Structure 1
Amino acid sequence: MPATAGLLTCLLVAAGGPVAAAPPIGYAAAARCGPSVTDPLAAAPWPLTRLRPDLAWPLSTGVGVRVAVVDSGVSADHPTLDGKVLPGRDLVPPDDGGDDDGDGQCDENGHGTLIAGIIAGREAVSAGFRFYGVAPGAQVVPVRVLRDQRRSTESDLSGRIAEAIRWAVDQGDADVVNLSLTTPPTRQLQSAIEHALDRRVVVVAAAGNSGESGVEAGQPTYPAAYPGVIAVAGVNAQDAHVQSSTAGNFVDVAAPGERIAGPAAAGGGYLFTAEGGTSFATGYVSGLAALIRAYDPTLSPDQVAERITQTADHPDGLWNAQVGHGVVNPVRAVGALRPAGAGEAGAAVSVPRPADRPSPLRGVSAASGVIAVVGVALALLLLAAVPVVRRGRRRGWRTARK
């Protein structure tokens, strides 16, 4: 059986439409460079409420960092990505719909655009709900390697992905490389990963969507399992391991990977992932890596990875094969650093504390507290005065008279 590789499959539907086994009407008739979706958000994206990356923005928004998205391409048409997508590269062969002169901004599938939005989308409001990327100050470098999420039996696909990584590092000046895909391990691919790490580029990859089979078969997923790569698993809104997320001893951390919303390639609307996918979990971690790299550019890829894993919300036992060191915690990961030039990297600083919601009875509670304190003080004074008055009476004290 030939080796297969490709983008990690997850069902994409319009964010405002029903979750169904087939794409909504109009999706298949998409334009040349992406499905045109106008549907607004149907709810507040739960990963943003869970991770709260915006609490880290007073320290870093990812400004100055470039994140290469090696994927199906990234469209620059959506308002959240307008002006944020740099010219990239199209490595899809012309006989398969690619463009030798393409800049990677054609996304026929929508997969890469959604992930780019998760990583670096600027804040927008849709139907009253906020959407934003983890690192809205970062920029995206698209490198197109596949047209869609269907698995490919092309023997040179791993080589194409390896070429994409090298191009992103050498020509795209990437600081972080996002790999929301799986492919058979090859020496060429491993060499490209090592090249990126040697150039101090952080590499983040999806653990895969084969469920527990990775552990049972003893077969790790690549490129996630290569040394130095941050391997990302998926969790749901209850912080539970998504069953489709591949488990294994190579898993480093976890992030939201189920029921994810993000920008569509065309139409200005939002897509919604009805199923689990470590592709999208990888985007959240790449965004966090961008925040850290912007805050302290002196950190090596290993130091960035260590910061992410050390500050994650650890599971029982501190690590397991399903979620690694746990769900990433952006505010803790960034807040526990000192920026370059401020002393030893990694030394602790104060972490911004999430703002408490004001209680509707806050004023009453405060007043009650004051009254209680005053009452106790008066009571103590009265108790203290009793023996003094008694002693004075025994000594014949009288009140003063004019």
Structure 2
Amino acid sequence: MLCGAVVALLATLVVPPTPGRAAPKCGPSGERAPTTTPWPLRRLEPGAAWRMTRGSGVLVAVIDSGVSATHPALRGRVRDGRDFSGLPQHAGQCDLAGHGTMVAGIIAGRAEAGTPFTGIAPSARILPLRVLPDTRRTNDESLPGQIAQAIRYAVDNDAEVINLSLETLPTPQLAAAVEYALDNRVVVVAAAGNQQQQRDEPAYPAGYPGVIAVAGVDEQGGHVGTSISGDYVDIAAPGHNIVAPAPGGSGWLTEPEGGTSFAAAYVSGVAALVRAAHPELSPAQVASRLARTADAPPEGRNDQVGHGVVNPYRAVSNLLGTRSDPPLGAMAEPTPVTDPWARERVVAIWAAAIGALLAVVLLVSRPVVRSGRRRGWRPGRRPLEAPDDAAPEPTRP
């Protein structure tokens, strides 16, 4: 019964990407590179945040189906990983499903010449930890324990952000591993989950306290229908019509239906940018910052997209107090964004006002000056005193 439940849960979340041709030994090779900028990059505009940071120095653990280190977009960005699924090939760098490589590319892929794709934090690095050997072998009832082991490994090997684009059953071991990560100042981001039918319970590990649970939105900004809703949803990101690197070579995979797996990856990339720019923040403060600076829905927070769609530029640049940020659940609405040009604008207004005042003074004083000059006044010269009637007339020589 437990095996069947795990199969049902993971089948709704990890969908095999669509390959262009037969998959090689370590994952599908994909299709040709996209010719236009993927819509999530147009929507999120991460380049605005890159003027401040590109995520350098931040290690993001991707606990998934593995991550290929051979794709040009990920070459040099992927550390030696570890396998927790029982497969012998190349530790965490063999990705039979293609899922983990797509997630890693969204987080930290770098731009290639002639390819309009890049990750959100292109200078971050990836730690691949494989727990899903492929999408046809997710019926292992020990999966929650394997995820828990991978989380602890990530924490002990200097990860600052953990991405969990997967779903499994809640267990005490998994809950303890998540708490271990948060206690060690590691940000944990997880997919809110995908549904094939209506469900009321949260997905895990996204449902654990302190985990940033991410829902998906489409190109129009609407909630993706298969993205699970609930009061545990914190934030949203693109989760529909996704393109990202393939593990087998230099091709690309497309996922028309998308999913919260990829939405979580976009948020993990933004979390890496925030970590690089503000290393002093705790996981709770990072989560609060992402929520406060998100593009909020008109009516405020809701169970479909949480506090709104993540905004990379605001998350990195907005000046928020690092000590006074309330817990994520305590916020009703995001705080208005600070205008970075407000001070300069005030100075310009005052300068214009003073200039106008001086112009008025000059116009008013000009007739007075002319009249004074006709009477003998010059700058720096005392005005002539009126003659004293009692004074004697000066003697002429």
TM-score interval, normalised by the smaller of the two chains: 0.7 to 0.9
Matched, 1:139 2:139: no
- Tell me whether 1:176 sits opposite 2:161 in the alignment: yes
Q: What is residue 188 of structure 2 aligned with on the other side?
A: 203
**Letter aligned with residue 45 of structure 2:** R
SS at match of 2:253: strand
Matched ranges for 1:260-299 at <5 A: 260-299=242-281
Distance in 2 between the 1:338 and 1:47 partners?
26
- Name stretches of at least 5 consecutive residues in structure 1 with no aligned partner: 14-22, 354-402
Aligned residue type for 2:174: L
- The C-alpha deviation readout for 1:102-137, integer Å capped at 9, x for no partner, is 4311111111011101000111244xx511100011
The CA RMSD measured in Å over matched residues stands at: 2.3
Which residue of structure 2 lines up, in the alignment, with residue 76 of structure 1?
Answer: 69
Query: Is residue 6 from structure 1 mapped to residue 17 from structure 2 by the alignment?
Result: no
Deviates more, 1:256-265 or 1:102-111: 102-111
Aligned position for 2:33: 40
Deviation at 1:149, TM superposition (A): 2.6
What amino acid is the match of 1:153? N
1:62–1:350 Cα change, 3 Å: farther
Q: What is the identity, as a one-letter code, of the residue corresponding to 1:65?
A: V
Number of corresponding residues? 327
Cross-structure match for 2:238: 256
Say which SS state the counterpart of residue 155 (structure 1) adopts.
Answer: coil
1:259-315 CA distances to partner (integer Å, 9 max, x unpaired)?
011111122111111213000000000000000000011100000000000111111
1:162 is aligned to 2:148? yes
Return the letter of the residue paired with 1:123: A
Rg larger in structure: 2
Q: Structure 2 residue aligned with 1:49, among 42, 48, 58?
A: 42
Q: Could you tell me the TM-score, scaled by structure 1's length? A: 0.77
> Which residue number corresponds to residue 366 of structure 2?
none
What letter is aligned with 1:204? Answer: V
| 211 and 6 in structure 1: CA distance in 2 versus 1, 3 angstrom threshold | closer
Deviation of 1:316 after TM superposition, in Å, equals 2.5
Report the equivalent of 2:55: 62
Verify the 8 A CA contact 1:203 1:230 in the aligned structure 2: yes
Paired letter, 1:78: H
When the two structures are superposed, what TM-score results if normalisation uses the length of structure 2? 0.78
- Cα distance in 2 for partners of 1:108, 1:260 equals 19
Q: Is the 8 A contact 1:161 1:189 kept in 2?
A: yes
Equivalent pair of 1:296/1:338 in contact (CA under 8 Å): no
8 Å CA contact 2:196–2:226 kept in 1: the answer is: yes
Q: State how 1:3-402 maps to structure 2 within 5 Å.
A: 3-4=5-6, 5-6=9-10, 8-13=13-18, 23-24=19-20, 26-27=21-22, 30-93=23-86, 98-99=87-88, 102-126=90-114, 129-150=115-136, 152-170=138-156, 172-210=157-195, 213-214=198-199, 218-337=200-319, 351=340
Instruction: Find the aligned partners of 1:110 and 1:153 in 2 and give their Cα distance.
Output: 18
- Equivalent-residue separation in structure 2 for 1:61 and 1:168 (angstroms): 21
Shift of 1:152: 2.6
8 A contact 2:29–2:252 mirrored in 1:
no
Q: Secondary structure at the match of 2:93?
A: coil
SS in 2 for 1:124: coil
Question: SS at the partner of 1:12?
Answer: coil
Secondary structure, counterpart of 1:213 in structure 2: coil
Q: 1:213 to 1:11 in 2, by over 3 A?
A: same
User: What is the CA–CA distance in structure 1 between the aligned matches of 2:84 and 2:284, rounded to whole Å?
Assistant: 29
C-alpha separation in 1, matches of 2:319 and 2:161: 18
Cα drift, residue 333 of structure 1? 0.8
User: Where does structure 2 lack aligned partners over 5 or more consecutive residues?
Assistant: 326-334, 343-397
Percent of aligned pairs sharing the same letter: 54
User: Residue 83 of structure 2 contacts residue 131 of structure 2 at CA under 8 Å; is this kept in 1?
Assistant: yes
Q: Is the 8 A contact 1:141 1:174 kept in 2?
A: yes
Q: Deviations over 1:199-226 (max 9, x none)?
A: 0000000001116623xxx311100010
Deviation at 1:351, TM superposition (A): 4.5
Structure-2 separation of matches of 1:194 and 1:92? 22
The farther-off stretch of 274-283 and 179-188 is 274-283
Contact 1:245 1:276 in 2 (8 A): no
Structure-1 separation of matches of 2:292 and 2:119: 22
Q: How much has 1:41 moved relative to structure 2?
A: 1.0
Contact 1:337–1:345 under 8 Å retained in 2 = no
Q: 1:317 to 1:265 in 2, by over 3 A?
A: same
Distance 2:286 2:223 in 1: 24
CA–CA distance in structure 2, aligned partners of residues 169 and 330 of structure 1: 24
